Amino acid sequence: MNSPKTNRTAHVYKWQIPIDVGVALRAKRISCREGLYIELRSEDRCGWGEISPLPGFSAESLEEAQDALLCWTKLWLSGEEELPKLPSAAFGISCALAELNGTLPMKADYRTVPLGGCETEKLVDKLAGAKGEKTAKVKVGFSGAANDGITVDTVLHAVSDVRLRLDANRSWTLSQALDFAQNIRPHYRERIAFIEEPCQSREESRIFARQTGIAIAWDESLRESDFTFDSSDIAKAVVIKPTLTGSLEKIKSQAEAARRLGMTAVISSSLESSLGLTQLARIAAWLTPNTIPGLDTLNLMRYQQIRPWPQSTLELVPAESLQRLI
């Protein structure tokens, strides 16, 4: 779609990527990832953005995000630039604008944190052969708190120099979370970098941290209206998921607020495509340069789109092969 008045051009694409094994999102399995891309052009400049709400986590549906994106695109072509309110749309559009304006740095952090689940063998083998800093992420909350504790203890025992990031997605009551910790030997707990939102409420998570000595991180809490950054907070880290958060300005604000309080800020994926992941790698290098981002999700996809992830052997699908809406 062209706008002669402002010398602007925009295209919106819709896509689907099959996922090799059904991924569980809050007890619901999905077999494909769906989303939208926006391509903005002005003069000889170009910017891309990905808009892909995550089912079960995003407040908005893909249909709502699409409506907001198409509406915004028409306004942008007439000269307006105010972002939509929906987080996924605001994030993708702000990335496209930042590329167009040259304000999203090109330097990227393509390091990844291997992602593991209840089966530990492959993760342990991968970590045992890794060089340099060893950090891995383990999803917990699926196989019973006690079993999850045994899994984590097994990994920490098998790989003596690994640090684990754990993600519970508010799966447990305080009692269940304490059962989890009970199965991790106390001298291993300091190698848990953090566990994201172990309990169903923030206060229970804080009690868990005090009683077990296991560091906690905020994830879902960052997106709640009553959340504030507080110097007295016991949490050691925040996990920022841009697709669920909103504009680059909001992401930058959260990362800077965490840094001022001495908290670790981690940029993490929401199952974006290769295009979105490469932009998250750039955002991580820009806003959290000393922290490995959580972007190890491309291996769940059947192929890449538009832009490749370095050293990935997955087929790359060009824009011309996608469904163009405008």
DSSP 307: S
One domain for residues 152 and 180:
yes
SS3 for 17? strand
| 167 annotated ligand binder | yes
Residues 148, 250 within the same domain? yes
For the record, the structure tokens of 182 come out as: 């009970």
What is the model's pLDDT at position 114? Answer: 83
| Residue at 1 is within a domain | no
Range of the domain at 96: 8-103+314-324
Give me the CATH number covering residue 63: 3.30.390.10
Helices 248-260, 87-101: axis angle to 10 degrees equals 90
- 285 and 320: one domain? no
Query: Strands 2-3, 134-139: parallel, antiparallel or unpaired by DSSP?
Result: unpaired
Q: Which residue out of 5, 107, 137, 241 is catalytically annotated?
A: 241
Same domain, yes or no: 79 and 211: no
Identify whether 241 is a catalytic site residue. Answer: yes
- Judge whether 43 is annotated as a binding position: no
Does residue 125 have a known ligand-binding role?
no
Does 124 lie in the same domain as 251?
yes
Q: Are residues 295 and 252 in the same domain?
A: yes
Q: Does 109 map to a domain?
A: no
Whether residue 237 sits in one domain with residue 143: yes
Q: Residue 51: inside a domain, yes or no?
A: yes
Cβ-Cβ contacts under 8 Å for 246 (sequence gap 6 or more) = 87, 90, 91
Q: Which of 107, 126, 137, 139 is catalytic?
A: 139
pLDDT tens for each residue of 258-298: 999 999 999 999 999 999 999 999 999 999 999 999 999 99
Question: Among 124, 121, 169, 168, which Cα is nearest to 148's?
Answer: 168
pLDDT at res. 124: 86
The verdict on 87 and 121 lying in the same domain is no
In the chain, the number of structural domains is 2
pTM: 0.94
* Same domain, yes or no: 75 and 154: no
Does any domain span residue 272? yes
Contact 41, 30 (CB under 8 A): no
pLDDT tens digits, the chain, 326 residues: what are they? 655 556 899 999 999 999 976 566 665 778 999 999 999 999 999 999 999 999 999 999 999 999 999 999 999 999 998 999 999 999 999 999 999 999 999 999 999 888 876 567 778 888 877 777 789 999 999 889 999 999 999 999 999 999 999 999 999 999 999 999 999 999 999 999 999 999 999 999 999 999 999 999 999 999 999 999 999 999 999 999 999 999 999 999 999 999 999 999 999 999 999 999 999 999 999 999 999 999 999 999 999 999 999 999 999 999 999 999 99
Report yes or no on 307 lying in a domain: no
Task: Identify whether residues 121 and 49 lie together within a single domain.
Answer: no
CATH number at residue 228: 3.20.20.120
CA distance 81 to 203: 40
Q: How far apart are CA 148 and CA 316, in angstroms?
A: 36
14 counts as catalytic? no
Query: Which pLDDT value is given to residue 117?
Result: 64
Rounded Cα distance, 86 and 59, in Å: 8
